[in-house]
Chain A
């Protein structure tokens, strides 16, 4: 219970700073909108190809936009050596990592929501026909991306090339999650039913989230101390 209080305190502090500075939100939001806008010139929005690609395009935009958010997560702790103050406090390292992941999830969900509206306008998709299913897929996939982003954000925080290293490290690991998210998002965007075959990808999302959350909690202390 105490760990949850600490986790929430970290997330609340980071969200307060982010909503004040809007550093990550502006960067990730602008990136997502620009990419969606540019691709809308390249593809014919009424073609079958576009229908097949919709989920892939969206999740690639979210994954790349997410990297801009994760990079700031632990970098925010560098000025004045705030990470030392946190690590010397009773906050468990796992609460610190999970708190960062919660912040990233909230920020990424905001970027995703804005992107969906932009996507609907430029690509002529009525994405809101299955709002609850879509929300569930987005929540599960966004949490998976965020927890992995938090772990690797912590690992790369002291590297000079962290902006480069973070995406290089996380994207290969995100492949199963992105495949699952794309497979589930495509039919929802195209108003098709979720068949049992496709629903299997939902299990992939859940397993990914559970495994990487458990790993993050278990490895938080050595990651942050070293």
Chain B
């Protein structure tokens, strides 16, 4: 059974169709890189999948349940444009709160382990207000991955990360894939995304124009993907 299944999904902002007839199925352990120009509908699609934005037509199931069901949300990790971190709480307090919010009561030692994992062990009890942008993004990664979700929706997760942090994120995603989690990430950073992705989807004006397994050729030469897009007439 697919972990994520979309069938003929339409999403409107007023009369404007932001998503048109999107159909897609992702199996356990797949990582789908969602590509497309600005305004193509990547963020909208991820928000609809995460149950943050209602859709008007079609059907979506996540882990066999409706998107807003508690079952789906309990096993979901979402990292949006905003990092979802409270500035006036410390790193530890943020993780503790979101662990509770995810229905898991992680012991303090595990929270600290997560902070070590994202290189924030020296600022465990420092308010996030004093963090740099990269540190905040790394804390957001710990928040998203700490409850071992089975489905991950990541909206431009490489933003603000340096090389070291990108490697850290890639490792986290690789581990998630190995334990069977399904990942959908939108990005403009093709090289990083293609290195981890098992599948590639291209959105154009709200329509899914391309969905296929990622090939080695795409990894070796991300330009190949552009050529594919050009062949499809969507560049």
Measured CB to CB, the residues of A under 8 A from B are 2, 5-6, 9, 13, 16-17, 20-21, 79-82, 84-92, 221, 225-226
Is B102 located at the chain interface by the 8 A CB criterion? yes
A85 to B114, CA, bound (A): 18
Q: When the two chains form their complex, are residues A85 and B103 in contact, meaning their CB atoms are under 8 A apart?
A: no
Q: B residues 47-61 with Cβ under 8 Å of A?
A: 47, 50-54
Closest 4 CB pairs of A and B: A81-B82, A85-B84, A88-B78, A89-B101
Q: When the two chains form their complex, are residues A84 and B52 in contact, meaning their CB atoms are under 8 A apart?
A: yes
A89 to B102, CA, bound (A): 6
A9 to B83, CA, bound (A): 20
- In the complex, what residues of A have CB within 8 A of residue B50's CB? 84, 88
Is B73 located at the chain interface by the 8 A CB criterion? yes
A-B contact pairs, 24 of them (CB 8 A): A2-B103, A5-B100, A9-B97, A13-B89, A13-B97, A17-B86, A17-B89, A79-B87, A80-B83, A80-B85, A81-B80, A82-B82, A82-B85, A82-B86, A84-B78, A85-B80, A85-B82, A85-B101, A87-B52, A89-B73, A89-B101, A89-B102, A92-B70, A221-B68
> When the two chains form the complex, which single residue of B54, B86, B103 contacts A90, counting CB atoms closer than 8 Å?
B103
Q: B residues 30-47 with Cβ under 8 Å of A?
A: 47
- Encode contact with A along B140-156: 1 for CB under 8 Å, 0 otherwise: 00010000000001000
Q: When the two chains form their complex, are residues B82 and A90 in contact, meaning their CB atoms are under 8 A apart?
A: no
Closest Cβ–Cβ distance, residue B192 to chain A (whole Å): 23
Closest Cβ–Cβ distance, residue A221 to chain B (whole Å): 7
Closest Cβ–Cβ distance, residue B52 to chain A (whole Å): 5
Is B98 located at the chain interface by the 8 A CB criterion? yes
> What is the number of residues of chain B that contact chain A, defined by CB distance less than 8 Å?
32
Residue of A nearest to B84 (CB): A85
A104 to B81, CA, bound (A): 29
Once A9-B100, A90-B70 are accepted as A-B contacts, the answer to whether A17 and B88 lie under 8 Å apart by CB is yes
A87 to B83, CA, bound (A): 13
- In the complex, what residues of A have CB within 8 A of residue B143's CB? 85
Is B74 located at the chain interface by the 8 A CB criterion? yes
A57 to B82, CA, bound (A): 42
> When the two chains form the complex, which single residue of A6, A82, A91 contacts B84, counting CB atoms closer than 8 Å?
A82
A91 to B51, CA, bound (A): 13
Closest Cβ–Cβ distance, residue A97 to chain B (whole Å): 15
Q: When the two chains form their complex, are residues A21 and B52 in contact, meaning their CB atoms are under 8 A apart?
A: no
- In the complex, what residues of A have CB within 8 A of residue B88's CB? 17, 20-21
A80 to B84, CA, bound (A): 5
> When the two chains form the complex, which single residue of B54, B74, B84, B98 contacts A225, counting CB atoms closer than 8 Å?
B54
Q: When the two chains form their complex, are residues A226 and B54 in contact, meaning their CB atoms are under 8 A apart?
A: yes
